[in-house]
Amino acid sequence: MKKIVVLLIALFSVTTLFAQELRCNVTVSAQRIQGANRQLFRTMQADIYEFMNNRKWTEHVFTYDEKIRCNILIRLDDQISTDEFSGSIQVQLIRPVFNSSYETTVLNLKDNDFRCRYVEFQPLEFNETSNRDNLTNILAYYAYIILGFDYDTFSPEGGTPYFEKAQAIANNSQNAREKGWKAFESERNRYWLIENILNKSYSDFRKCMYFYHRQGLDLMSDKPEEGRANVAQSLRDIQTVFRRRPSVYILQVFFDAKADEIVNVFSKSFPDERNRVMTILNEVDPSNGSKYEKIAESEGF
């Protein structure tokens, strides 16, 4: 009987060890806040790290190597009161590319509406049905956004359950006094990010996320020309979204993560393919036009 108990404990321990999904690097920077207790920010960083990495966000079991790599950078600019701070949060998602050492940035988003209360040594508690704690609401929201984007790159709309959880947090935060959750505050905030992602009118964005990564980048080590052609094809889905609504937030989110990579992918392309891609990019992302000129200037094949 004792052996059975020991075995069950061992199995439970292994399952717990590998249950968590995220391998999230967390940095809290408060250099602009003068005269504050530096230890408080180190404790905050440790607490946020534990919240992101030790919480079970899905029903799936991940080994260490399968964990989703992501980064969170919180810059605190102002100390509003003893336990209240404001600043920004930057969220980055990194995905490995099959059969290669290359890692692609799927998400690189900066949210300037970060405001929270934090009391040192007080546990971070998240409640899915309330908006009492803006810090854990923001962290959980972005945890689900990270999961949704990652899953979408491996299967068509595979991230839907996690995007829906992020949307539920946004909905529950409509009465929050902090900014970032409401439609009327901005066209580029947490409300509009999840609205755009789940809006069927922009479903081609999520189609692009799957095709760009799974049928494009993942093929390039074995079939570079086919993989690159599929990446080019996926940009047509972005073009479709642009033509429906040029100012939609998710287009900025896409190109903030992908502009430099697109240049690298198509710098080694055929002239006609480069020209087709340049035509799309100049239409949908003119703000990065100087970057894309490097595609036209490259020798290619």
Structure confidence by residue, pLDDT tens digits, 192-202: 999 999 999 99
How much is the pLDDT for 10?
A: 39
- pLDDT category at 298 given cuts 50, 70, 90 is confident
Q: For residue range 205-252, list pLDDT tens digits in order.
A: 999 999 999 999 999 999 999 999 999 999 999 999 999 999 999 999
Return d(Cα 289, Cα 221) in angstroms, integer.
Answer: 28
pLDDT above 80 for 108: yes
- Is residue 284 within 8 Å of residue 245, measured between CB atoms? no
- Spatial CB neighbours of 6, under 8 Å, sequence gap ≥ 6: none
Instruction: Establish if 81 belongs to a structural domain.
Output: no
pLDDT above 80 for 12: no
| Crossing angle for the helix pair 190-198 and 160-172, to the nearest 10 degrees | 140
Residue 10: is it exposed, middle or buried by C-beta count within 10 angstroms (0-12/13-18/19+)?
exposed
Instruction: Please report which residue ranges of 70-199 form alpha helices under DSSP H.
Output: 134-152, 160-172, 190-198
Instruction: Establish if 24 belongs to a structural domain.
Output: no
Instruction: Establish if 234 belongs to a structural domain.
Output: yes
Return d(Cα 85, Cα 284) in angstroms, integer.
Answer: 37
Residue 27: both structure tokens together: 């940095």
Tell me which residue range forms the domain holding 300: 203-301
- Is residue 136 within 8 Å of residue 126, measured between CB atoms? yes
Instruction: Establish if 213 belongs to a structural domain.
Output: yes
Which backbone phi and psi does 280 adopt, to 5 degrees? -65, -50
Instruction: Establish if 267 belongs to a structural domain.
Output: yes
How much is the pLDDT for 20?
A: 87
Return d(Cα 175, Cα 190) in angstroms, integer.
Answer: 14
Instruction: Establish if 291 belongs to a structural domain.
Output: yes
- Is residue 212 within 8 Å of residue 201, measured between CB atoms? no
pLDDT above 50 for 5: no
Residue 219: both structure tokens together: 């093929």
Q: Is 107 helix (H, G, I), strand (E, B) or coil?
A: strand
Cα 31 to its chain centre, rounded Å, is 25
- Is residue 26 within 8 Å of residue 143, measured between CB atoms? no
Number of domains in the chain: 1
How much is the pLDDT for 300?
A: 58
Instruction: Establish if 298 belongs to a structural domain.
Output: yes
Instruction: Establish if 155 belongs to a structural domain.
Output: no
Q: For residue range 18-28, list pLDDT tens digits in order.
A: 458 999 999 99
